[in-house]
Amino acid sequence: MWRAGFGPAVEQLDDLPKYKPEKYYKALVKASAKEPQYINVASNNLIDLYEQQQDAGKRKNLDEMQRREINRMQQAAVRTLNLYWLKEMVTTPAQLREKMAFFWQGHFASRNGNIFYNQLLLHVFRKYGLSDFGILLKQVSQSASMLYFLNNQQNRKGRPNENFAREVMELFTLGRGNYTEKDIKEAARAFTGWTANSKGEFVFRENFHDNGEKTVLGKTGNFNGDDVLDIILEHKQTAKFITQKIYTFFVNDKMDDAIVSRLADQFYNSKYDIAALMETIFTSDWFYDPKNIGARIKSPVELLAGIQRMIPVKLENDYALFNMQKILGQQLLYPPNVAGWPGGRSWIDSSTLMMRLRIPQMFNDKDELNVAPKQDDDVMMGRKADGTAAVPAKAQAAKKVYGAVTAKIDWSGNISQYENIKKEQLLGAIKNNLLQVDLSNIQETVSRNIDPSSREAYIKSATVQLMSTPEYQMC
């Protein structure tokens, strides 16, 4: 439930012991099978102003204040989309679909201030995240968000821009060291003319395209961008690279080379069937090996969504969730650079760990967000001078007060969940529902801070205390 989604919801706890993982996975697949609805958070006012901005006849009538207002509304709309998607992760039964979209958003990292481009790319992740990787790759590669983020609108015959071609090979498909600089240069020529219009629709400008012969990854021809993507998909290294990324995200940071090799073979032979690959992972015995349980550090978004699935929270100001993401170092739709979030141990440092441990108590008691956010890394497209990927630096900024977190928790599901449990067994039962690892000494530590004044107070305080432990950070 944590790996294929964002953790169990409190109302599902009664059913968890009744079924085997295979049955749960089939239920997740069924719940995620329906095509997602397009998410549109742009106001009519923003749409009207934006359309005026794109209309050459009306553009001259827009004054500087109106242009600034469009930019302000765009930024606000992207934040609204961020919160809308986070809420979808918390509430939707289509957990697998949203988890896959969340993974692909980190893999195909793109950062764009245009709300319409963001909405279109998010829909691609949600619609194609469990389909054919080749289809997903082409949909992403032709998205306005990615084309503009990687400067391909500047890529034209005689003046090729290599940025898009480089990242497609290095970060999205083959991985570093599995192509040459000549391959990059030739592929860039194939992608000349690829751009998008103001509505976010893919546009191929034929007069900007280089029709000359190109040699990419050992093949020679008059290739266009689609041809290059097909050539990349023909290389088994692409299946291996994507499988490695999926394994480290969904299974364990430490790869089992033998298992990854078998999975990569399956992925390649199935013509990149993502759904079949995920089914093999989630229904294999090795996935439930003790070494893989509680082995992953929850990302900030996983942590925030998972807490809210277990203790439904209504915030007085939803933007507190946006600020929490910023402080913890992972904002949906705002990857730090083109390489995405490093994940793993990078989520934890002295400041973020303390903040993570405070979040459940912030929801339960009015508190202030008064810590420094992680430093944003959007310089040189996330690349160091030597070309290697840059890891987000530790926070340099001064502490900032983001305002009070005022929330109301619906405890009814948790109270009813444990109504038939004897009081002396309550802590053990709550621990079993919240933690992935069995640590006998944790009960003694947590019990010191539990409110024993009533059964209800005991359940509430025990839940908050267990969620505030380092062990809850793992899944």
Given a cut of 90, is residue 380 above it in pLDDT? no
Among 14-28, 212-226, 255-269, which is the least confidently predicted range? 14-28
Given a cut of 70, is residue 201 above it in pLDDT? yes
* Assigned token pair, 413: 């599901």
CB 444 within 8 A of CB 407: no
Q: What percent of the chain has pLDDT over 90?
A: 80
CB 86 within 8 A of CB 304: yes
Burial group, residue 161, by CB count within 10 angstroms (0-12, 13-18, 19+)? middle
Distance (Å) of CA 205 to CA 153, 192, 230, 341: 10, 8, 20, 33
Q: What is the pLDDT of residue 447?
A: 86
Mean pLDDT, rounded, for 299-313: 98
Q: What is the pLDDT of residue 52?
A: 85
Q: What is the pLDDT of residue 442?
A: 81
The pLDDT tens digits of the residues spanning 159-190 come to 999 999 999 999 999 999 999 999 999 999 99
Q: What are phi and psi of 164, to 5 degrees?
A: -60, -50
CB 145 within 8 A of CB 117: yes
Mean pLDDT, rounded, for 181-209: 97
Mean pLDDT, rounded, for 143-157: 97
Distance (Å) of CA 246 to CA 21, 157, 217, 237: 19, 36, 24, 14
The pLDDT tens digits of the residues spanning 316-347 come to 888 899 999 999 999 999 999 999 999 999 99
Q: Which residues are CB-contacts of 82 (< 8 A; sequence separation ≥ 6)?
A: 322, 325, 331, 332, 333, 334
Q: What percent of the chain has pLDDT over 70?
A: 91
Q: What is the pLDDT of residue 378?
A: 55
Given a cut of 70, is residue 393 above it in pLDDT? no
Is the alpha carbon torsion for 234, 265, 3, 417 positive or negative?
Answer: positive
Given a cut of 60, is residue 194 above it in pLDDT? yes
Q: What is the pLDDT of residue 391?
A: 46
Confidence of residue 57 (pLDDT cuts 50, 70, 90): low
Higher pLDDT residue, 439 or 4? 4
Higher pLDDT residue, 17 or 57? 17
Query: Which position has the token pair 């978004």?
Result: 301
